[in-house]
Amino acid sequence: MTRHSLLLALALTLFASTARAQAPLTPDQAEARAIFQQLIETKTSFKEGSTSPAAHAIARRFLDAGFPAADVQVLGPAGDKDSNVVVRMRGTSTTLKPILLIAHLDVVEALRADWSLDPYTLTERDGFFYGRGTSDIKDGAATLVEALLRLKREHIVPERTLIMALTAGEEGGGGYNGVSWLIQNHRDLIDAEWCINPDGGDPLIKDGRKIVRPVQASEKTFQGFWLTVTNKGGHSSMPTPDNAISRLAEAIGRVSRFHFPVNLNETTRAYFERSSGLASGQLAADMRAIAKNQRDSAAAARLSVSPFYNAQLRTTCVPTMLEGGHAPNALPQRARALVNCRILPTETPEDVRATLVRVIADDSVKVTPIDSGAPGKPSPLLPIVMNPVEKVTQRLWPGVPVIPQMETGATDGWRLRDIGIPTYGLSGVPIDVDDERAHGRDERILVKSFYEGVEYMYQLVREVAVAPTKS
């Protein structure tokens, strides 16, 4: 073979290899990528941006696709600042209630100086998509948008009406919360039998392999308490037994050593029962034991060594901020600590405060709630939800188990559960358990995961909307 022929053969081999690695996108994938890019490159953080441009851009896509103007609404409380977009895809049934699909358009702030690339440019590099919101959760919003547009393009008319609400204010930082505002002012626009929320239930990857398809069916309540001690103070050269910082330190110690009782609900009991099949040895035995009997103290103690399992088992309270004293040579007149509690859906902030008062056992320590955490009602594991999820998961990802999960953080899902709309965290985009970057520097997801999520969400939405579904 001549040198020219050898180089030509090598070039053809490399081209063929690259072509295999980078297969051209399908029209559906190309559209989803364009939607994703448009969302990432629209700055929707509260301080420096607005969700309104993104809401209008999404609305335009649905209008261009032939959705009636009456079924595509951009609205919010402050004119055209931080708007929401609500799209209705009407179904044939006059008796079945709609299914709601939600995702938030806003993102946490991202400073260019903190990133190695522009956080507000969708960058594809080394098999990843980089950008603020790639995993929280503009990927999920893009998959919902693409699912409805694809149904329309394929002339599929759902049996159930589908409602998609992409909202503002989930990440906080000021302004308002879009889901709460819609509930209070336009409940009719989003009223539904149940809801899919891709801001939870991320399919998980470990060592390149999908290991679980979670279904986030409940969330803990976020609640903070100030522990405060005050006294008259004095000169530090004449200390007294009654020192505000010392009393506070003793209270913090008691809280830190205390473990709330194990209290499983339908979701967490199913989580441990099904997760035991993925574990082995003592861990598997402990998971089975606690699912069968939550009073098994030995199993609970071993599981509680893991912060993740401990958070699934019980309410947790942990000190996160500390203040005290006013001068280096003065006895402190005031000391306080912020205790952050994550409360199980079956318990209340009032119950937790009463427990903290009992555990601290010191009347000089005042326990004061600093926010109004609402009880996170769990969503029942309904067959009309779980069966389609199982069906789609086994169709696309054979052998991957479906496991209910309780969110230890918080999403907008609790707001809907609180008004009686069961909500299920069901992202379709698999996340590597060792590469979670939401809210962080160089946020990213796998390119392959994004396109898998596009297909998964389409299949799931079609399954629950088109197939007969009865409670």
Q: What pLDDT score does 7 carry? A: 34
- For residue 21, is pLDDT > 60? no
Please, which residues bridge with residue 101 across strands? 164, 196
Residue identified by tokens 């530090």 is 236
When pLDDT is averaged across residues 387-399 and rounded to a whole number, the result is: 97
Reported as a pLDDT band with limits 50, 70 and 90, residue 471 is: very low
- Model confidence pLDDT, tens digit, residues 225-280: 999 999 999 999 999 989 999 999 999 999 999 999 999 999 999 999 999 999 99
Name the residue type at position 31. Answer: E
Q: In the chain, what are the domains?
A: 26-218+380-466 (3.40.630.10), 220-369 (3.30.70.360)
Q: b/e for 351-376, b at 16 or more Cβ within 10 A?
A: ebbebbeebbeeeebebeeeeebebb
Q: What is the pLDDT of residues 43-73, one digit of tens each?
A: 999 888 999 999 999 999 999 999 999 999 9
pLDDT at 175: 80
pLDDT band at 125 (very low <50, low <70, confident <90, very high): very high
pLDDT digits (tens, 9 = 90+) for 400-423: 999 999 988 789 999 999 999 999
Task: Look at residue 439 in the predicted model and tell me its pLDDT.
Answer: 84
- Closest to 430 measured CA to CA, from 407, 460, 400: 400
**Confidence at 299, pLDDT banded by 50, 70, 90:** very high
* pTM for the structure as a whole: 0.86
Per-residue model confidence as pLDDT tens digits over 416-462:
999 999 999 999 999 999 888 888 899 999 999 999 999 999 999 99
Provide the pLDDT for residue 375.
61
pLDDT level of residue 17 (50, 70, 90 thresholds): very low
Report whether 104 contacts 199 (CB < 8 A). yes
Q: How confident is the prediction for the chain on average, in pLDDT?
A: 92
pLDDT tens sequence across 225-236: 999 999 999 999
